[in-house]
Chain A
Amino acid sequence: MGSRTYLTTAAHAGARTGVKPRARACARKASRVALAVVGAVGACGGERSDHGAGNALTLATTTTIEDSGLLSVLDSAFRASPPQVRLRVIVAGSGEVLALGRRRDVAVLLTHAPAAESAFVAAGFAAERRPLMYSEFVLVGPPSDPAGVRGERDAAAALRRISSARARFASRGDDSGTHQRELALWREAGIGVEPGRPPADWYAEIGQGMGETLRIASETEAYALTDRPTFLVLQSGLRLELLVEPDPPLWNRYAVLVVEGAANIEAARAFADWLASPAAQELIRSYGRARFGRSLFMPGVPETSPQHTGLQSEPEPESDPEPESEP
């Protein structure tokens, strides 16, 4: 089971933060003496947390980067390199991540909502939006494919077919980057979908994260727009198939924002610089290959011209034509 590997990794992470052998012995005793559970475990907990803000950096990330396991790989590598800063990771949707940034409660943001990121920069909360990596959006659906979209290359045409077949469609409905992209696709397809007002009973606004939306789509035999990494990670538990891989691809772009005026901003800048280094970019490129046979994310910015996929007319100030320091 994958769970075991995860727990072991996490256990190592725990060991890294310095769980003392005494604590281990302490817990062993606790499991034997039921009556001591409260006191003993409480005491063990007390020894542990060394959350001195000293060389720790608070970072907020969109769910996919953390849930796919990529962030913990980047975290360990970054911790091992010179400034030896530890990351304190908070996971939320892009909207909430940006809100945490606006209140300067976190120093580094990893998001995938280009338009909102540009607004964040324009409002002076960050000096620049630094491209980090990208993945693709794909259309998934029930294996029976009632709307017959399998193999379609044009996402908008696929949506038109889903709509005319009145096949169920599960929308994030949470104003996330993925949701924005989906709405833009419906516009392109010439079908009026307004958030908060489902156009018909076959269209469901879930109002939750990607994982929950996919789970609901799987249970109700619905189609859904998803980013490829999330689908790959969750695929084994879902009765959904990858049906439409748009060509040219619908890029899903991730960026790094360093929050002006947040605590420990030097470390934040160091982390952002490090993410652009060849070593980090190679980690991103190779992540997931062993498990899924392909990269989950590609570092930098997509090679193809963004016009074709720029469905939401993102006023992206791609102020960095040279993708940082790509290898």
Chain B
Amino acid sequence: MDVFLEAAREAARLLFSGDSYVRDILGLSLRVSGTAVLVGVLIGIPVGVAVGIGRFPGRQLVVALIHTGFALPPVVVGLFVYMLLSREGPAGALELLFTPTAMVLAQALLASPYVAGITLAAVQAVPSDVRLEARALGATRVQALWAHLREARLGLGAAVVAGFGAVLSEVGAVMMVGGNILGETRVMTTAIVLETRRGRYGTALALGLVLLAVAFTVNLILTRLQQGRQAAVWSTAGVERPWA
């Protein structure tokens, strides 16, 4: 038990003492994963909405493909991006290997299926009457779609949260394409692997707790944004909330 208490104490110290090593890698973790989720949202939400609302041949196949993306092993994505960006690879001339940009690219690939998959579930869960009624009341197609998305916003928030959690916690891809270089591409998860390999389990555990504490703070903010004003709307609308 002492190990866990010691780790918790060390975590608190690292979090509040402004240790510059931890602050740097934590900053990079948030920056890389945050940017990756942003890219994932730009790709995943349009795809999720299109597949969720659209009706086209082979749609079920596309849905299954998106859901398969949930099972993408980070290390495989890392390997793929590595082969792409390696000097001997097709995009080697860009010299992006072992940079934060390469890490964002890999994590964006990981985040996109999460965002798309949960978006499509959220969009589909809203009765299509919403759009029909809006059209009947004289809304344009774009306005009707907007109304539909407004109804689905809780689920869209969940999509962002899930994507962020998936990439903030992964280590396989960032290790592979970032290289865990001190001061350049070391993030929380790769630092935890490093400390574990060095046999410093206490420090590794403490870093893990720091990462969780920060993830909690970020999620608290996202949850406020997501649930804040909407709670009242939902309770009166009486619509199913499969994700709540």
Taking residues whose C-beta sits less than 8 angstroms from the other chain, chain A's interface range is 35 or more
- Chain A hits for B100, CB < 8 A: 49
Chain B residues with Cβ below 8 Å from A302 are none
Residues of A within 8 A of B182 (CB): 10, 13-14, 89
Q: Is B129 an interface residue (CB 8 A)?
A: no
The SS class assigned to the A binding surface is: helix
Known pairs A2-B200, A3-B200, A211-B197; A49 contacts B19 (CB<8 A): no
Residue B221 CB within 8 A of the other chain: yes
- A27-69 residues with Cβ-Cβ distance < 8 A to B are 27-28, 31, 34-35, 37-38, 41-42, 44-46, 48-49, 51, 53, 58, 63, 67
Interface residues as binary, A1-18 with B (CB distance below 8 Å gives 1, 0 otherwise):
111001100110111010
Chain A residues, Cβ within 8 Å of B55: none
CA–CA, A11 to B86, complex, Å? 30
Instruction: Judge if B183 is at the interface, Cβ distance under 8 Å.
Output: yes
Nearest chain-B residue to A209 (Cβ)?
Answer: B197
Cβ of B133 under 8 Å from chain A: no
Docked complex Cα distance between A219 and B20 (Å): 35
Are A14 and B21 closer than 8 Å at their CB atoms? yes
Q: Give chain B's interface secondary structure class.
A: helix
A104 to B86, CA, bound (A): 8
Chain B residues with CB below 8 A from A17, complex form: 183
Q: Using CB atoms, name the residue of chain A closest to B200.
A: A3
Question: In the complex, are the beta carbons of A37 and B20 less than 8 A apart?
Answer: no
Contacts of A11 in B (CB 8 A): 19-21
B window 186-207: CB within 8 A of A: 194-203, 206
Taking a contact as CB atoms under 8 Å apart, the answer to whether B23 and A27 are in contact is yes
The yes or no answer to B170 lying at the interface (CB within 8 A) is no
Does A19 touch B at the CB level, under 8 Å?
yes
User: Given that A42-B34, A45-B27, A88-B179 are known contacts, is A233 also in contact with B97, CB under 8 Å in the complex?
Assistant: no
- Residues of chain B whose beta carbon lies under 8 Å from any beta carbon of chain A: 10, 14-16, 18-24, 26-28, 30-31, 34, 86-89, 95, 97-100, 179-184, 194-203, 206, 214, 217-218, 220-221
Can you list 20 residue pairs at the A/B interface with Cβ under 8 Å? A3-B206, A6-B198, A6-B203, A7-B14, A37-B218, A41-B27, A41-B30, A42-B27, A44-B27, A48-B24, A63-B197, A67-B197, A88-B179, A90-B179, A104-B88, A105-B87, A209-B197, A211-B199, A237-B201, A238-B199
A residues neighboring B (CB under 8 Å): 1-3, 6-7, 10-11, 13-15, 17, 19, 23-24, 27-28, 31, 34-35, 37-38, 41-42, 44-46, 48-49, 51, 53, 58, 63, 67, 88-91, 103-105, 209, 211-212, 215, 233-234, 236-238, 262-263
